[in-house]
Amino acid sequence: MGKAISLLRPPQPPREDDSGMMELRKRPRPPRVDPDFVSFPPPQPPRKRARKQAAATKLKEAVGPAKQQAPTKRRRRPAVGIGCPVAGLHRVTCGRQPPLRTSTRVLFRPRRPFNWYEPDMWTEVAKHLCGFDLLRLSFTCRWFRRFLADDSIWRYAFFRDLDLIDTNPRIHRPLYRSWRLLYFAAFDGTHAYSLCQSGKHRSSWRIGSFLLDSPQMLLMGKLPVPKWLPPDPDDLELGVAMMGACKLHNARPGIWITDMHVMRCPMCDRNSCRGNMQILDARHSELFLEEAYWDQTLEYEKLGEHFQDEEVAEAFCAIVNTKHLNCPSTAHVLNKSWAGKRGDMLTKQCATTTAAAIHTNLKHNGGLESKFEAMHDTARDGQIVSVRISQILH
């Protein structure tokens, strides 16, 4: 503010020191600011607020010390959360009261990192994956490639998909094959007619598998089971022609896979012909790994033909393990309880651990012809590695 002018006092002449005093009383001129930064002034340091603790302290001293009240109900302490060691679960609430001096290292101890590459865990996971999923899994990294190189995993998948029991003591182990190669040879979609006669092939499907723990095998083109067959192996053609069945004495023991095929009628070459020929095909599980099979060195040999010149109501053929002919599993196949009713014309199939068969109800016909064929291996004493029963209407 400027000087106050009094009306009662006359004005005084200016002194020499007044100019200097006025200069001292003037406010200092603010520093010039760059016009480019007028809209964004520099931040000012925060102001410190005055402490009010002194007044509160004086008020307490005037009032005096607080009176101690009688103890009331003890206040309940809050529950303590304990981290769960299992990943993905919520933490567990513990109702116990923590001690006065509790270390945080005990309550919240660090968990160990989860190991994704645990062999025992992936072994159980592999039991629920098909072979092609296991193959894709092996392409992910080297650890899975080394892990899935174990034959025990492929062995389990092989018996699981063939619906066989792995702990059966009658199972013959492969001689020089790995279970992984056996699996892909059985489930890669290849069948007996992929190499030849593919133009006449119409459809096929997997029936199942059975175990052969002896070199004896019984082939049947009709029921009932014959009570007598020629004992001489050279008389197979006679037994097929008379009884519609034959017994083989030199089959390769092991796991046999059975398929059913539907072929075009071989009696004529007309495309309008709706006649079919049903084939029951059984092969050893190691056959498709033989080089002699793919270069067509191994061929089927004819065992005989059986013709029924009267009307036949059904077409039935079966392959049985002769050693277990009287077993309950074989009896289930031969009693035809699984076959369709008389009006059902669809082909039915059945397979157990000792036998396999197919059954089809037929319309009016003039007879049924059954052909028996076998394939011998030239490398192992001429063992039989595949058999085939073909049936066609006349």
User: Could you report the per-residue pLDDT of 81-112, keeping only the tens digit for each?
Assistant: 444 443 444 444 444 555 555 555 545 556 66
The total of other beta-carbon atoms located within 10 Å of residue 129's CB is: 16
**Residue 135's pLDDT band (cuts 50, 70, 90):** confident
- Cα(first)–Cα(last) distance of the chain, in Å? 134
Dump pLDDT digits (tens) for 31-75.
Answer: 665 555 555 556 677 666 655 555 555 545 555 555 566 656 666
**Pairing of β 368-376 and β 254-264:** unpaired
At residue 317, the pLDDT reads: 94
At residue 36, the pLDDT reads: 55
| Residue 284: pLDDT over 80 | yes
| Residue 136: pLDDT over 50 | yes
Mean pLDDT across the stretch 352-375?
91
| Residue 286: pLDDT over 70 | yes
Predicted structure pTM score: 0.67
DSSP state of 235: G
**Residue 382's pLDDT band (cuts 50, 70, 90):** confident
> How many angstroms separate the CA atoms of 276 and 263, rounded?
6
At residue 332, the pLDDT reads: 93
Distance of CA 309 to the CA centre of its chain: 51
Q: Which amino acid is at 373?
A: E
Mean pLDDT across the stretch 350-354?
92
Determine contact, residues 193/248, Cβ cutoff 8 Å: no
At residue 87, the pLDDT reads: 40
Determine contact, residues 364/294, Cβ cutoff 8 Å: no
Q: Which of 249, 243, 247, 248 is nearest to 226 (CA)?
A: 243
Q: What is the DSSP string of 53-81?
A: HHHHHHHHHHH-SPPPPPP-SPPPPPPEE
Question: Range with the lowest mean pLDDT among 18-27, 77-86, 301-310?
Answer: 77-86
What are 375's strand-pairing partners?
Answer: 300, 386
Percent of the chain with pLDDT over 70: 65
Q: Which amino acid is at 203?
A: S
Residue 22: helix, strand or coil by DSSP? helix
Dump pLDDT digits (tens) for 359-368.
Answer: 999 888 888 9
Phi, psi dihedral angles at 121 (to 5 degrees): -65, -45
Peptide bond between residue 266 and the one before it cis (omega within 30 degrees of 0): no
> How many angstroms separate the CA atoms of 204 and 260, rounded?
5
**Residue 127's pLDDT band (cuts 50, 70, 90):** confident
Only one residue has tokens 């590459």, namely 117
At residue 57, the pLDDT reads: 54
